[in-house]
Structure 1
Amino acid sequence: MSSAADDASGPTAAELLDFVRRVACDASTVASLPLDPEGRTWVQLEGPGGSEAWLIGWPPGTGTGWHDHADSVGAFITAAGTLKELSLAARLPTDGWRTLELTEGIDRSRELTTGQGRAFGRHHVHEVLNESDTEHAVSVHAYYPPLPRIRRYSRNGALLRLEQVERPEDWQ
């Protein structure tokens, strides 16, 4: 039995990265996003090959918290401003745990200025932040298959704890 994530007809993470790069270069699309000084804003885009895509605005000091996109591959790029991605360079078990003690040396940090992005595979645990005190950031994201769930985590030092599993019906 194969899952949607195994569907070879969907776009790859590299193809999603190409898509988000093209959108980020479209100044009129990026400028069309309404920015709110109080919270993140977003507009859904039509992604390639049945993927889910978003244009997201990040006010100064905002972030996602630690999360993953479960069985989806994805890509994102900074279209304006600067974002920081904190991630874990380790494969975590996908199910059956609530708390994990992380080993030393798995933390990664990258600063993504305008035009910089990345693709990622399934179960990629990360946090995205706009650390600026004054400047909005805008990014473009794409996922395939469309997000089946997002797992949210809390982190205290080396301890990562699964806090919540969200499904699309939770976002309506």
Structure 2
Amino acid sequence: MTLSSDLLAAARRWAADPAAWPIQPQYDPDERWYARIAETAEHEVWLLTWLPGQETDWHDHGGSAGAFTVVSGALVERTVITTPRKRSAALHVSAGAPGGGRVRYMDLPAGSGRRFGTHHVHGVANRGEVPAISIHVYAPALRSMTRYRLVDGKLRVAEIERAGVSW
């Protein structure tokens, strides 16, 4: 079993047992709400809520692998198809999306999950009409996240956030 599949299994275990969550989900009308609900030597677990229309920008997880599962509602993940050898401050993408990049959308209804490696860049959104809840697991624990903008077909670094400062 790989690290990312272990992370998805952990996310599914946490999603299946809301009574074990040390905090109840909350909803913020201005932005998605999140709280870390567990941390072990191997990984950390986050609880997120999403009101209709709430979304993240393009971001990575600072070198952490991860997985998430949708507890209720539905989410959409968007990823940019990148050229792996060209990862740098500007990630090159292939033709097809705004600015020339190719964006892939994946619908994630309740019960579905997603795993990803250490170089994954994505955005997640609630495009539905009802609130959504998701559980996210990262290894190692998040220490930074890079935010990107898609400009002229390339993902450009917008900012780098740090644990303990930005969240």
Q: TM-score, normalised by structure 1?
A: 0.81
Give per-residue Cα distances to partners, 1:23-48, cap 9 Å, x unaligned. Answer: 11224357921223332212212145
Q: How much has 1:50 moved relative to structure 2?
A: 3.0
Q: CA separation of 1:100/1:32 partners in 2, compared to 1, >3 Å: closer, same or farther?
A: closer
From 117, 122, 125, the equivalent of 2:118 is: 122
Contact 2:142/2:163 (<8 A) preserved:
yes
Residue in 1 aligned with 2:149?
154
Whether 2:82 is the aligned partner of 1:87: answer: no
RMSD between superposed Cα atoms in Å = 2.2
Alignment of 1:27-66 (within 5 A): 27-28=18-19, 32-66=24-58
Q: How much has 1:19 moved relative to structure 2?
A: 0.7
Match of 1:162, SS state, is strand
Give per-residue Cα distances to partners, 1:71-121, cap 9 Å, x unaligned. Answer: 1100001111010000123336454x2x34421265321000000011100
Residue in 2 aligned with 1:112?
108
State the alpha-carbon separation in 1 of the partners of residues 152 and 126 from structure 2.
Answer: 21
Q: TM-score, normalised by structure 2?
A: 0.84
Unpaired runs of at least 5, structure 2: 97-101
State the alpha-carbon separation in 2 of the partners of residues 33 and 55 from structure 1.
Answer: 7
Contact 1:88/1:124 (<8 A) preserved:
no
Unpaired runs of at least 5, structure 1: 1-10
Contact 1:47/1:142 (<8 A) preserved:
no
Residue in 1 aligned with 2:99?
none
Identity of aligned residues (%): 34
State the alpha-carbon separation in 2 of the partners of residues 37 and 29 from structure 1.
Answer: 25
State the alpha-carbon separation in 1 of the partners of residues 139 and 55 from structure 2.
Answer: 22
Runs (4 or more) in structure 1 with deviation over 6 Å come to: none
From 40, 65, 71, the equivalent of 2:63 is: 71
Residue in 1 aligned with 2:166?
171
